[in-house]
Every structure is written in C-alpha cells, then in structure tokens.
Structure 1
Amino acid sequence: MEVKPTIVTTVPRLFERMHTLIIKNIESGSPAKKRIFYWALGVGRDYVASKKKGIVGPILRTQYAVADRLVLSKLKERTGGRIKFFVSGGAALSRELGEFFESVGIMIVEGYGMTESSPVISANRSDDYKFGSVGKPLNNVQVKIDEDGEILTRGPHVMLGYYKNKEATAEAIDKDGWLHTGDVGHFDTDGFIVITDRKKHLFVNSGGKNIAPQPIENLLQQSKFVDQIVLIGDKKRFNTALIVPDFDNLKEFANEHHLQYRSEEDLLADEKVNDAVRKDINDLQRDLAKYEQVRRFKLLPVPFTIENGDLTPTLKVKRKVVEQKYADLIESMYK
C-alpha cells in the first residue's frame, strides 16, 4: 500500500537510519555522484541560512533550483512527496541531523512532554525553531528550572494525579502544583528549552565530576562506525563505552584495507578495525573536557533491541539492564 503522509511523528532513531542510508548510498556511488550530492547539500544549507535572514540572491536562487531538481527533490520524494514536516520526540535529536535534513528541504521539529502533562509541554514551530532544543513552552504552560536543574511544569495541562495512588502523585507533583518531569535542562538566551538528560541517567565519576551521558553518546554516534552506544562511568576513574558498530561500514573498511576475517567476531577483534573506530571517536570528542571523553570501548556483536530486552518500546536504552548484562565486559575495561 502506498502512503503519502503530510505530517509524521516519530523518534530520532528513524532519522539516524535515514541519514546513514543516504550517506552510504552516496559514498558507494561514482565520484561525480558524490560531488553533485555534496554540492547540492551545500547549496541547500546556504539557501536555508539566507532565507532565515530574509535575503536570497538571484544566483543562490538559481543554484537552489538546480540542486533541488537534481538531488533534493528526489530525497523528499522518498518520504512520499507531500511531507510538510516531521515531529521528533521521545529522545534528543542531534543538531547535526536536524540541520542535515533542513538542508535537504525536510523540516524536523522537536517537541517535549510526557503523559502526565497531556502530553505536550513545549514545541518548536515551523516559523520559530532551534535545533538542539525542544522549543518554547506552549501558551498557558508554566515551566521553570529547579535548583538541581530539573525541569518543572505547572498549568491546566498537568494531570490531576495517578489513579488511586496518592503516594506516587505526591512524589510527582509538589504542594505548589509543579510537576517534576525527571528531566534536566535549561533555558537558552532566546527562551528555548534545552534538555541535557534524564535526571536518573546523570552520574558522578570517582573524581566528583557530574556527567550527562546522552549528549556525549549523541556526539559519538556521528561516527560512521557507531550504530548504538552506551556510556559507562558512574563512580569510575574514566569513561568507557559499549558500542554496537555499523557492520556494513566496518566490512567496507576491512575490504578496503584487505583485512582477513571469517566472522563478525573476527572483525570486532581486529586491531586495525578498533584503531579506526578509536580514531573516529577521538576526532569527534576532541572538544570535550577530559573527564567527559571515552578512554576505552568494547565493540558488541549483537545490537540492542526491544526483543532482547535492551530497549524500551520507544527505542530508549535500558541502561541498568545493559550494564548488568555486560558487567564482566565493563569491568574488563577498568583493569
């Protein structure tokens, strides 16, 4: 059945896979195809930037028309051809992904909320948005940041309480009517809400440094070799990571460098493969503070999935489950 939606609500994982498939298809093409694609992407980026300023010159307008005809329109057509915008929620969308699809002509807006808030608290709008944020609070929705950084919200959108569970209700909603979301974040200078991580996911290393894993994981997932990643470091001397690699890209690297392997396990154990992943990670994390950087990692042969119990139905990693499952492997990285 053919479907041509106008608005689609989904999670960041879909956009990550779309981006991976697009880049993989381009990189496997001819040099001419690659040049045209990246030229069109650059034109799209310039066009968006100029349009935001309200000034699009005739040369750029002509270039964009050509780029759209040759490349951009074909990518948009793959979404059904009628998409006005995508709505992303459930987890943080990286700024880089948002800007990539914006350059292509595919708008992604992020919103934020929870079931207890009916469910929307804030949202980016098609005419007022900022990648890396979850937008501004809706009308009649109050939001404030608590002393510990937790996002609190109050207003007619907040639930009355949990059904026949006064204790849980009292934990979630304080005496002044503020719903405690469990998320940590802040307002930027333009009034957009930026979420750092879930409060329960923050950890403190053995040196007393507070670390939010999600932004670091999002950064390192930009590596073509990294499909999924879980940062480890609670009460530890340094950060490590469990990485589910992109096997297609690993195999392509191995073939280009004439590496011999019989199985995916052989591939993961290869020193040159690990060196390539390490180089990518180090390049991406060079601007992070030393205590935020990943010092060691292990490549996993099996992905995190809903079926094996590692992911929630909304594709979020169950950190405690993963840490318990790979406890021995994690411990080996600290020896």
Structure 2
Amino acid sequence: MLKFNSPLEAFLYWETQTPNAVFLKQPVDGKVVSYSFSKVGEEARKIALALKELQLPEQSHIALLSKNCAHWVMADLAIMMAGYVSIPIYPTLHADSIHQILEHSESKAIIIGKLDNFELQKSGIPNIPKISVSLYGVKESMTWEELLNNQNTLQEIKLPKPDNLHTIIYTSGTTGNPKGVMHTVGNFVESISTLATSFNLSNHSTLFSYLPLAHVAERVFITGGIMLGSQISFSESLETFAKDLESTQPHVFFAVPRIWTKFQEKILENMPQNKLNVLLKIPLLNTIIKNKIKQKLGLKHAKYIASAAAPLSSSLCKWYNRLDITIYQGYGMTEDCCVSHFNLPGFNKIGTVGRKLNHVQIKLSQEGEILIKNNCLMLGYFKAPDITASVFDDDGYFKTGDIGEYDHEGFLTITGRIKDQFKTDKGKYISPGPIELDMSKNTDIEQICVVGTGIPQPIALITLSELGKSKSKADLCSGLINTLEQISPNYEKHEKIEKVVIMKEDWNVDNGLTTPTLKVKRNSIEKILTLLQTMV
C-alpha cells in the first residue's frame, strides 16, 4: 500500500496515474454507469466549487444524506476538496432524527442523493442550502446535474493536515440519542493503513459497497478503497442486491451477522440441508457445489471475508467453513475507528473476535470491561465534553462498555455489555448476550432479545426467520423447546429461559426497534416487556 497523508491526496494521485481506470460503478435502471477517476475528479471539483461559492467559513460542516451510491463517494470527495467536514446521515432515518442531527452538528448545507422516500424526510431539513441528485429523483433548489453544466471547476485544492477534523460520525443510538464522534484526517489514514496491512489488501482491489456509509466500518472500508485506487461497485436496490453482488465478485467482503443468516436461508431454500450434506460427501461433486455457491453469493474471488458489529454464532461459522467460506470475525467501534481486534488468516479462532491489531493497547477493568488505546481514537463527542471525559480513564484508554475475556493465546471473546446486564426480581444479574447467541443457533429465529428486569426468570422475545414462518405451529414450538433444552445445561438456574415469546411484528428501523445498522434497540424492546408481564 502506498503511503498518503489523506484520502484526498490518495485520490488525486490515482486520478493522475490512472485517469481512465473505472473507479465507481453505479447500476441505474438495470444498466451500469461507470465513472473513471478522471470523471469523478471533474464532477467532484464542480460540486466543491459550488460549496465554496456558498461563502462558508473553513471547516464548515456539510451533511450528506444518501444511500450508498457513486454520488455519495463523489460528494464526500467534493466536501474534502472544498476544505469542509462531512456529516453523514443514515438514509433510513425519519425527519425528526434527521433534523436533530442537522441542528446538533451545525451543518451549513446538505447534499441529498439516493433515497427511498425523500418526501417523508424532507421536513426534517431546516432552511440551509441543498444540493440534490436528479438522477435519483430528488430535485431541490440546486441540483447536481445543473451544477455540472458550470464550465468552471475548483482550481486550487488545499490538502488537509492530519490533525484537521475530517468527519463527525453519529452513532446509531442503541441506548439513546446519537452522539457525534469526531475523527481527524490522520485517524482515517491510520485506521486504513492498519487494516489494509492486517488484511493484506492490495492496490486496485474490487470492492462492493452496501452497508450504510454513515457507519464508521463501511466509511473506513470505502475510504480505504479510495486510498488503494480500487474499483467500487454499488447495488441498485434490495431486489437486485444478490445479482449486483454476484456480478461484482469483490476481493473483500464485509457483512453483519444477519446478512450471513439470510445467505444461509437462501442457500437452504434451493438446497435443503439433508441434500447438501449428501452432496458435500461426494468427491469432485462437492467441489462443484462449493464453487457454485460461492459464485452465486459473489464470494468466488474474495480473499478476505469479515463479520463484525455483533456476535456471529460458532455453529454458523462452522456451517460456512464446510463450504470453504472462512468468515473472520472482528471487533471495533466508531470511537476507535475500527482498529481493535480481528481474526486473520493463520490466526483465526471461531467464537472469538481475534487478537489485538498492531499498535493497539488493551487492558481490562476490575469489572472485565475492555479498555482500548490506539493511534486513531476519536477526538471526542461533538459538543459533549462531559460525556467525552466520562468514557476515558486517567491513562487515556477508551472505555468500550463491552465485557470480555482473553484466552492464553490472546484471542478475545466478548461476553456482554455492561449496560445490557439486568437484574431479575430475585436480585440476580444476567448478561443476555451469551444466551442470545446460543439461542440464535436455531435457524427459525431471526432476531432475539432476552429480557427479565423485575420478573423471576428471563424470557426471550423473538421474531421468526422466513424458515420459521414457513413451519407449522407444532414444529416451530418443538424446535424452540428443543433449543432451550440443549442450552439449559450451560447456565445457572437464575439464567435459564422460562418462556419464549414470538412477536407478531418484525423489528426494523421503521418501528424504531432496530438501529440503521440492524442492531436491536434493547431499551425499546424491553418496553414491550411491560405489556407482556401479565402473560409471564
């Protein structure tokens, strides 16, 4: 990997060295629009000039509201070229949440790209300059396309210093209002350099972007693509996701646990487990089956396949291993810019999140909380000095809020969240994480949240997977009971699940029960418990 002092410096290098190489590939109406480094540079400069003409102070905050698309990356580059700070916003947020972030972040303008229903979000945007992309059906006072008709482009591009503020990333808010995490240019360079070296990534890799770019992991991933001179492809829609991924065949693929569960469901829909077991035992044919599955999943050329954001069950990892698909689990946070722990080729232990990466220092508190220090920790939370001070110890270590333990080889296992622990009316504390992970081995379960505050025994609230929904009530109940019986010996008497409640409604962003990154909002789910206590 070549050494650059900023993502912008890297882009300018690749623009000069490989101007005609395809940088971004955007499907639109079933056809792929390709953007070369030269074309991206031209469009970004014109948008940057439009931002500069707003006469905003240096380092002003510019919001970016869009699903992943080529214009997200071009807008991000334009904001860098103009010398401003980007404020990415999750494209699934409601108007009130958008307004809250725009007001709190003091955003002076906003770029609006690809969205599912902007009309429902529009009222959340205050009276600030808006640049919208007509290609995606959004037309505001200034459109991207109209600005491109300008013959002028930004001529002078000032490269940022490493300690310049690069972005404010708002956390997804699992336990309350989102907090704005401030990261410098140097933090992103350090993070990308560490991860690219650890994963042995090479220049000109093929990448596929689909997880929200407002999240630090995807942001680091795709910014790393800029620094590596990669080719980045996007999905047109949820309906075309599988086809778009298959046609891309990226060299690196990153997913969250729910994606791996969905992939498994699709495979088993076409090839039931019993049939798959038989085929995998047949020499030669098993290789054909494995290659066909990897081709359909888009993983045929993947050199590194990662999972993070939440625990992935060991049984699911082993299931994929049988298909010659090795999933490396990792652990990182918005605040540490993703540089923490990862399993790596040659150093992979299922059930753990790996060993600490280079230049990472770790210690455990008396309560077992993981404390971390690296070279790319956040500056702090925007406009929240008291909260910032509370999450660092006297030695400058960040308090992750996660509880973990190391084995003798240095592999870390996350055992729970301090804030997730609850106490039953028997006065016993319970960490729900391990129980939820054990129960999730049952493929009938889509989502799970173990609760129990103020009741004698914990209960599990679940939603059903597509497989679970297709089963009869008798088969479904039998399977759930069997799961409870299997995991019961692993837990103390006060930890044993007394009842499983199947929820009628799936948990999603729209009903406020998951974050935009698909994490369950435990506080919101627990409120449901008060409505169910008469049943327990």
TM-score (norm 2): 0.51
Summarize the alignment of residues 28-177 of structure 1 with structure 2, pairs less than 5 Å apart: 34-35=274-275, 37-41=276-280, 65-69=284-288, 71-80=289-298, 81-177=300-396
| Pair 1:128–1:230, CA change in 2 (3 A) | same
Give the aligned partner of residue 249 of structure 2: 4
| Pair 1:85–1:333, CA change in 2 (3 A) | farther
Give the aligned partner of residue 184 of structure 1: 403
Kept in 1: contact 2:457–2:498 (CA 8 A): yes
Please state how far the C-alpha of 1:40 moved relative to its aligned partner: 4.8
Mapped pair 1:21 → 2:266: yes
Q: Aligned equivalents of 1:216 and 1:328: distance in 2?
A: 22
Would you say how many aligned residue pairs link Structure 1 and Structure 2? 289
Please state how far the C-alpha of 1:178 moved relative to its aligned partner: 1.1
1:228-255 CA-to-partner distances (Å, cap 9, x unmatched) read 221111232111111212354443x32x
Give the aligned partner of residue 452 of structure 2: 233
| Pair 1:158–1:322, CA change in 2 (3 A) | same
Mapped pair 1:333 → 2:528: no
Please state how far the C-alpha of 1:278 moved relative to its aligned partner: 3.9
Which of these two proteins has the greater Rg computed from alpha carbons? 2
Kept in 2: contact 1:250–1:273 (CA 8 A): no
Q: Aligned equivalents of 1:22 and 1:292: distance in 2?
A: 34
Mapped pair 1:285 → 2:487: yes
Kept in 1: contact 2:439–2:484 (CA 8 A): no
| Pair 1:68–1:128, CA change in 2 (3 A) | same
Q: Aligned equivalents of 1:15 and 1:246: distance in 2?
A: 13
Summarize the alignment of residues 174-323 of structure 1 with structure 2, pairs less than 5 Å apart: 174-246=393-465, 248-251=467-470, 253-254=471-472, 272=474, 275-289=477-491, 290-323=493-526
Q: Aligned equivalents of 1:40 and 1:125: distance in 2?
A: 29
SS at match of 1:153: strand
Kept in 1: contact 2:250–2:301 (CA 8 A): yes
Please state how far the C-alpha of 1:300 moved relative to its aligned partner: 1.4
| Pair 1:120–1:64, CA change in 2 (3 A) | farther
Please state how far the C-alpha of 1:321 moved relative to its aligned partner: 0.8
Give the aligned partner of residue 266 of structure 1: none
Please state how far the C-alpha of 1:203 moved relative to its aligned partner: 1.7
| Pair 1:6–1:184, CA change in 2 (3 A) | same
Moved more, 162-171 or 88-97: 162-171
TM-score (norm 1): 0.79
Q: Aligned equivalents of 1:195 and 1:176: distance in 2?
A: 23
Kept in 1: contact 2:403–2:418 (CA 8 A): yes
- Amino acid in the other structure paired with 1:4: Q
| Pair 1:118–1:102, CA change in 2 (3 A) | same
Please state how far the C-alpha of 1:123 moved relative to its aligned partner: 0.9
Please state how far the C-alpha of 1:164 moved relative to its aligned partner: 4.1
SS at match of 2:437: helix
| Pair 1:226–1:155, CA change in 2 (3 A) | closer
Kept in 2: contact 1:40–1:68 (CA 8 A): no
- Amino acid in the other structure paired with 1:73: N
Moved more, 279-288 or 172-181: 279-288
1:1-60 CA-to-partner distances (Å, cap 9, x unmatched) read 5322111112111001112222343338xxxxx34x21455x5xxxxxxxxxxxxxxxxx
Kept in 1: contact 2:363–2:370 (CA 8 A): yes
Aligned-pair identity in percent equals: 31
Q: Aligned equivalents of 2:362 and 2:279: distance in 1?
A: 40
SS at match of 1:189: coil
Please state how far the C-alpha of 1:145 moved relative to its aligned partner: 1.1
- Amino acid in the other structure paired with 1:310: L
- Amino acid in the other structure paired with 1:227: E
| Pair 1:19–1:291, CA change in 2 (3 A) | farther
SS at match of 1:143: strand
1:158-178 CA-to-partner distances (Å, cap 9, x unmatched) read 223334432122101122111
Q: Aligned equivalents of 1:120 and 1:64: distance in 2?
A: 41
- Amino acid in the other structure paired with 1:308: N
Q: Aligned equivalents of 2:530 and 2:509: distance in 1?
A: 20
Kept in 2: contact 1:40–1:72 (CA 8 A): no
Q: Aligned equivalents of 2:328 and 2:388: distance in 1?
A: 31
SS at match of 1:328: helix
Task: Supply the RMSD in Å over aligned alpha carbons.
Answer: 2.1
Give the aligned partner of residue 58 of structure 1: none
Kept in 1: contact 2:451–2:529 (CA 8 A): no
Q: Aligned equivalents of 2:519 and 2:382: distance in 1?
A: 26
SS at match of 1:241: strand
Please state how far the C-alpha of 1:190 moved relative to its aligned partner: 1.4
